[in-house]
């Protein structure tokens, strides 16, 4: 049957897997799940695949992975012949990537949660979520500013890794939750750098590079 991705088009977490597979040129079979309003992810057929009821889910033969960060690591290890998306020969680089994968979870819990509130009506203390999201984004801005001083465009150096793919969606989508990027010039440059990658694909809320040409030129 080949590689299958259980997916929801508006899920930033599922988009991480779609984006990396596009960048790696990996073919897969999408399986659309009616997350909203259908709630299909909480119904018995889906729970038999992933008892946690979360998206995305990657199925490759007998292997089922139900965490977006784990999916990124698996895809990079299996399909990247250059060993650049998730290099494992340098413990320092590997450790930094894993640290950013954990950081991506904080983006999901703050900016991602605010987006779910504003777009899908998820109950939430929205002001607290936005405040916490800005705290997380300020950390990202500080790191990217430092990277820029060294001439590096991405989170762990001059080449993109799964760390960038993990952190990109909910940073780029944060305006959907009322969290703008006005105070984050380094983040805006980094978002453009990701959009410039060969094979980049968009999703609702994340525009193609030519749709934001003024920002790219700046």
Domain count of the chain?
2
Residues 180 and 209 in one domain: yes
Q: How many CB atoms lie within 10 A of CB 128?
A: 12
Domain membership of residue 148 (yes or no) is yes
Give 63's strand partners. Answer: 60
Chain centre distance of CA 206: 11
Would you give the DSSP letter of residue 26? -
Task: Indicate the residue among 47, 79, 111 that finishes a domain.
Answer: 79
Going across the sheet that includes 29-32, the strands are 29-32, 4-7, 57-60, 63-65
Q: Measure the CA–CA gap between 18 and 122, rounded to whole angstroms.
A: 24
Domain membership of residue 37 (yes or no) is yes
Residues 65 and 112 in one domain: no
Residue 125 phi, psi dihedral angles, 5° rounding:
-80, 90
Nearest alpha-carbon partner for 167 in 124, 103, 73: 103
Domain membership of residue 20 (yes or no) is yes
Domain membership of residue 59 (yes or no) is yes
Averaged pLDDT, 68-82: 97
Residues 111 and 203 in one domain: yes
Model confidence at 214, pLDDT cuts 50, 70, 90, reads: very low
Averaged pLDDT, 34-59: 89
Residues 179 and 152 in one domain: yes
Q: Please, which residues have CB within 8 angstroms of residue 13's CB and are 6 or more apart in sequence?
A: 54, 55, 56, 68, 108, 112, 169
User: What CATH number corresponds to the domain at position 9?
Assistant: 3.40.30.10
State yes or no: pLDDT of 108 exceeds 50. yes
Nearest alpha-carbon partner for 106 in 65, 59, 69: 69
Residues 100 and 186 in one domain: yes
Q: Tokens 């999916």 label which residue? A: 71
User: What CATH number corresponds to the domain at position 192?
Assistant: 1.20.1050.10
Domain membership of residue 204 (yes or no) is yes
Domain membership of residue 202 (yes or no) is yes
State yes or no: pLDDT of 125 exceeds 50. yes
Residues 14 and 98 in one domain: no
Range of the domain at 43: 4-79
Residues 107 and 21 in one domain: no
Domain membership of residue 160 (yes or no) is yes
Domain membership of residue 85 (yes or no) is no
Averaged pLDDT, 158-182: 96
Structure tokens of 208?
A: 């193609």
Averaged pLDDT, 133-140: 98
Nearest alpha-carbon partner for 82 in 24, 27, 21: 24
Averaged pLDDT, 21-49: 91
Residues 16 and 123 in one domain: no
Task: Indicate the residue among 46, 79, 112 that finishes a domain.
Answer: 79
Q: Measure the CA–CA gap between 117 and 128, rounded to whole angstroms.
A: 12
Q: Please, which residues have CB within 8 angstroms of residue 68's CB and are 6 or more apart in sequence?
A: 13, 14, 16, 17, 56, 166
State yes or no: pLDDT of 114 exceeds 90. yes
Residues 140 and 193 in one domain: yes
Task: Indicate the residue among 16, 46, 79 that finishes a domain.
Answer: 79
Q: In a 10 Å sphere around its CB, with 0-12 CB exposed, 13-18 middle and 19+ buried, how is residue 52 labelled?
A: exposed
Q: Measure the CA–CA gap between 178 and 199, rounded to whole angstroms.
A: 29
Q: Quick: pLDDT tens for 5-22.
A: 999 999 999 999 999 999
Residues 16 and 96 in one domain: no
Residues 53 and 95 in one domain: no
């Amino acid at each position: 049957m080949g590689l299958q991705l259980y997916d929801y088009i508006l899920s930033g977490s599922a988009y991480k897997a779609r984006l990396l597979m596009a960048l790696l040129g990996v073919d897969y079979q999408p399986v659309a799940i009616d997350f909203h309003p259908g709630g299909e992810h909480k119904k018995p057929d889906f729970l038999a695949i992933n008892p946690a009821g979360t998206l995305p889910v990657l199925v490759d033969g007998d292997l089922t992975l139900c965490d977006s960060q784990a999916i990124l690591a698996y895809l990079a290890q299996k399909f990247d012949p250059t060993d650049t998306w998730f290099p494992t020969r340098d413990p320092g680089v590997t450790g930094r990537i894993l640290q950013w994968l954990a950081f991506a979870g904080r983006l999901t819990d703050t900016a991602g949660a605010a987006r779910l509130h504003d777009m899908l009506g998820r109950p939430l203390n929205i002001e607290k979520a936005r405040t916490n999201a800005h705290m997380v984004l300020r950390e990202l801005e500080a790191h990217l500013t430092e990277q820029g001083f060294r001439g590096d465009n991405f989170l762990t150096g001059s080449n993109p890794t799964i760390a960038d793919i993990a952190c990109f969606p909910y940073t780029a989508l944060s305006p959907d939750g009322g969290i703008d990027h006005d105070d984050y010039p380094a983040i805006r440059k980094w978002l453009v750098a990701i959009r410039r990658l060969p094979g980049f694909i968009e999703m609702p809320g994340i525009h193609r590079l030519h749709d934001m040409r003024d920002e790219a030129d700046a």
